[in-house]
Every structure is written in structure tokens, then in C-alpha cells.
Copies of this chain bind each other. A is one copy, B any other.
Amino acid sequence: MTSSETDDRKIRIAVLGASGYTGSETLRLAARHPNMAIVALTADRRAGQALGDVFPHLGGLDLPVLTRVEDVDWSDIDAAFCCLPHATTQEVVAGLPDHLKVIDLSADFRLTDPAVYAEWYGHDHLAPHLQGDAVYGLTEWARDDLPSARIAACPGCYPTGALLPLLPLVKDGLIDTQGIIVDAKSGVTGAGRAPKEAMLYGEVAEGVNAYGIAHHRHTPEMEQELSAVADEALRVTFTPHLIPINRGILSTIYVTLANGADVAAMRASLLAAYQDAPFVRVVPQGTAPATRHVRGSNHCLIGVFEDRVPGRAIIISAIDNLVKGSSGQAVQNFNLMFGLPETAGLQQEPLFP
């Protein structure tokens, strides 16, 4: 494979579900990606409209008009980014021609066990035969599998923020696999663009609350991936919180050290795991990652702290939920699936303030 920055292939992509936040964010990145040509956009309820009517910030781009999914001519398309709601996705993907690579931003292909899927989503999966074609696309942990994958199941935003710091530590046996607690604080865009009372400015601003306590659907993803590297079933305590920001997830993770481990070993493990990862950065000792320092970028910042309680540690990670937690990671996965440099189209610095 000859991936290089000067690769001038134009891979023809469709973005399905272009009228939501993950859709528009995918387009923001795709529009400046050196190897993408955007040839189809779908948004069933907005079919016939220009993208600029739905997202004025992208109104200056020369893009196709929005269409319905069934009106897309797939013959000339190489890849589809699926930014559709869960359940809808599995039906749509099942109907796509085989030659297409699919980068799915929904939850539909993340859980490999159909029983677990049914338990958390309340119905049987509609395309179980495709679950085997999907690779769980936490990019840094899927680099070997993505080039041959047909479907990249991009992780949820919360699992991305939790797994990046936890996977190396569990794999290296530095923390207890039982009793991991993930307390996450998220911006509103994770909830999408559908109008709901709870997401109105008046309801969100100047406040904070937990939600989905002990039963959020991102929990089984974390457990699936952590159990795999731990080689034993484990359960995670996970509490998501809604805070008044547009973008960003801060995950504060409480762990018990394994016998003999310490915070220095944890830092060393993380530094080793991500030494070649262009988007994951272990921050200097004593520094606390903040979501404002990753806003608009594909970065993940990780910090490790000794707890006051002996034998315990605190890990903090920060991502932008719409980039590394969603559309940015999708592009990163696309890059690997097509043999492009991992960073293609993703090198913007964070926007601060």
C-alpha cells in the first residue's frame, strides 16, 4: 500500500442523514478532505432542499441537493457515511450494494452479541448477518482490521472517551477490572438535532443534571470492549451528565490500582500505547485535560492522577463528541479503510476560545 499525503485519488462518498449534527460535521470535514468527492446527500424529510437551507454555515459549499435515500444512484459511489438514527440504519445498510464501504455513526453495528443488542435496544437486530462484517471502529484499536472491513461501526461518543484511556490500562493489567466508574459530562450535540423540550436552550443553560443513570445504552459498548481485553466479563458504573456546552465530553474515571501498579506505570502504559497515535495525547503530569482544548479537533487528551485514597487513581479524558466522538473518528476510519494517511482531512487545530 502506498499511502501518502500526495495521494490524489478522489473517493466518491455519500452522506446519509445529512440534516443532523453528525451529518453536518461529517460534511464540514469531508468538504476539505483531499481525497473525498461528495456526490450524494440524503435527508428524507428535507429532500429537495439545498444543504445551505438546512445548515447555513455550509451554504457556501458547492454540494448536491438533499435527496431521499431511495433516490441515490449507488453505482458510482465508493463509500457511505451513515449518520442515521439507530434501527433505521440497519435497514438502510442491509439494502446497500456490496461494493460500498460503510462508515456507520449509529449504534447499530457496535454490539457483536445479538442478545446484548436486543436487551439494550428492545428489539431483535434486523441485519444480524451484517454484524460479522462490521469492525468496531475505535480507530487506534482497529488499525489492523479496518483496511479489510466493509463496515466500520464507529463507537459511541461516551465509549470513545472512556475506552481510549482504559483499554491500555486493562490490557497491561494495571487496574482492577472490577469497580471501574466512569462519570462523564457531555455537551448537548450528542443528543442530536431533533426538537425535544429537554434540549431547549431554556432547559439546558445554567444547569447540570445526570441522566440515563445506570442504564445508558453506551454502557454495553464499554463492557464489550473492556471485557475483550480483560478476557473476562466485567461491568462498568457509568453516569452521563448533560452540561451547557455544545461540544465536548469530559470523562472522569475512578479506578483501583492492580497489585503493584502505580500512577507512573499507568502513564507509561498510556504513553506507549499511543506513541504513534496522531490524535491521542497524554498531557503533562499535573495538567487536567479540558474539553475546550479539543473543541473542533479530532484530539483526545488523557491525564492520570494519584488519588488521596491509597491504592486508587483518577483518569481524565477529553474529546469533542462530534469529532473524535463521532464524525472525526468516522473520517479517520475511512482513511484507514481506503489506505489513506490516518490524518487526511483531520489536521485542524482546536478552536479556542
Contacts and interface: CB of A to CB of B under 8 A. Distances in A.
Contacts of A245: 205-208, 243-244
Interface string A228-252: 0000000111110101111110101
Given A200-B199, A290-B208, A239 B314 contact: yes
Contacts of A248: 206-208
A189 B352 CA distance: 10
B189 A296 contact: no
Contacts of A31: 349
A101 to B, nearest CB: 24
Contacts of A290: 56, 207-209
A307 B237 contact: yes
A246 B206 contact: yes
A60 interface: yes
A19 to B, nearest CB: 10
Interface string A162-202: 00000000000000000101010100110001011101111
A197 B348 CA distance: 25
A281 to B, nearest CB: 6
B349 A309 contact: no
Contacts of A247: 206, 353
A353 B210 contact: no
| Copies per assembly | 4
Interface string A261-297: 0000000000000000000010110011111111111
A349 B185 contact: no
B181 A295 contact: no
Contacts of A291: 206-209
Contacts of A292: 57, 203, 206-209
A150 interface: no
A66 B210 CA distance: 27
Contacts of A283: 56, 59
A189 B209 contact: no
Interface residues of A, number: 87
A290 to B, nearest CB: 4
Interface stretch (A68-76, A77-85, A212-220): A212-220
A308 interface: yes
A327 to B, nearest CB: 12
B244 A243 contact: yes
Q: Which 4 A-B pairs have the closest CB atoms?
A: A207-B292, A209-B290, A195-B195, A202-B353
Given A181-B181, A206-B248, A209-B288, 17 more contacts: A55-B352, A57-B295, A183-B252, A185-B208, A188-B353, A193-B200, A195-B196, A205-B244, A206-B295, A208-B243, A209-B289, A209-B291, A214-B314, A237-B307, A243-B243, A247-B353, A296-B351
Interface of A: 21, 24, 28, 31-32, 52, 55-61, 179, 181, 183, 185, 188-189, 193, 195-197, 199-211, 213-215, 219, 235-239, 241, 243-248, 250, 252, 254, 281, 283-284, 287-297, 299, 301, 305-309, 312, 314, 316, 318, 347-353
